[in-house]
Amino acid sequence: MEHESPDTKMEDRVRKAMGLSARLKQQVADSQSSEIVAMAGIIARSFEAGGKLLICGNGGSASDAQHLATEFTIRYRKSVARKALPAIALSADTAALTAGANDLGYDQVFARLVEAYGKRGDVILGISTSGNSMSIYNALRQGGSQGLHTLALLGGDGGAVREVSGLSVVVPYAEAADRVQECHIAIGHVIIECVESIMGYCK
């Protein structure tokens, strides 16, 4: 009896993982395109009115926050010539994060930064693969109390964060964070494309 080689098993694993990631992205595109477009519209209108975008997340979502903020401020695609757009990743300041965690408790670190930087008409985008990160929940709740537009990229069923988000896109997968994160960065990229189009920088 022949057995599968280790390489064949690994190739099957690759196909399974990549296939699931692709299916989840397509599922979100089919069911939540209007929400993604609406998010882009809110962000674009805030930029046009002189507002800014604050983005927060933990772990891999913190990296996504910094990734997206950089593409708004520096450049997304070299084929699109535009001015810098004001986006700040709240996870990027390690001194503020560690001071906040030490002095106030980690659940309050992003809320404290929203209190400091957020102005009415700005946008706060929270990213949580579980939907239950209290640091994200508190940041959006603080933003809402200050008149910021509250947006969220979530996973699973949206969790508690969905309750304090004015608009959410939820990746319907709760088994692990990895596939959700892959969808989140794709959604973030599409949002940037839509923002640039809405603002007239590209077709």
Whether 85 maps to a domain, the answer reads yes
Between CA 196 and CA 132 the distance in angstroms is: 31
- Taking the model in full, what pTM does it have? 0.95
**Which residues lie across from 168 on neighbouring strands?**
152
94 exposure class (CB count in 10 Å sphere: 0-12, 13-18, 19+): exposed
Range of the domain at 58: 8-198
**How many domains are contained in the chain?**
1
CATH of the domain at 78: 3.40.50.10490
- What confidence score (pLDDT) does residue 175 get? 92
Q: Could you tell me if residue 105 is left (phi over 0), alpha (psi between -120 and 50 degrees) or otherwise beta?
A: left
91 CA to centre of own chain: 12
Whether 203 maps to a domain, the answer reads no
**Distances 64 to 181, 192, 193 between C-alpha atoms, Å:** 8, 13, 16
Whether 80 maps to a domain, the answer reads yes
Whether 3 maps to a domain, the answer reads no
Q: What phi and psi values does residue 88 have, to the nearest 5 degrees?
A: -125, 125
Whether 2 maps to a domain, the answer reads no
Per-residue pLDDT of the chain (203 residues; tens, 9 = 90+): 456 677 888 999 999 999 999 999 999 999 999 999 999 999 999 999 999 999 999 999 999 999 999 999 999 999 999 999 999 999 999 999 999 999 999 999 999 999 999 999 999 999 999 999 999 999 999 999 999 999 999 999 999 999 999 999 999 999 989 999 999 999 999 999 999 999 999 87
- What confidence score (pLDDT) does residue 202 get? 87
Whether 1 maps to a domain, the answer reads no
Place of tokens 């209108």: 45
- What confidence score (pLDDT) does residue 4 get? 65
DSSP assignment of 174-185 equals: -S-HHHHHHHHH
- What confidence score (pLDDT) does residue 5 get? 72
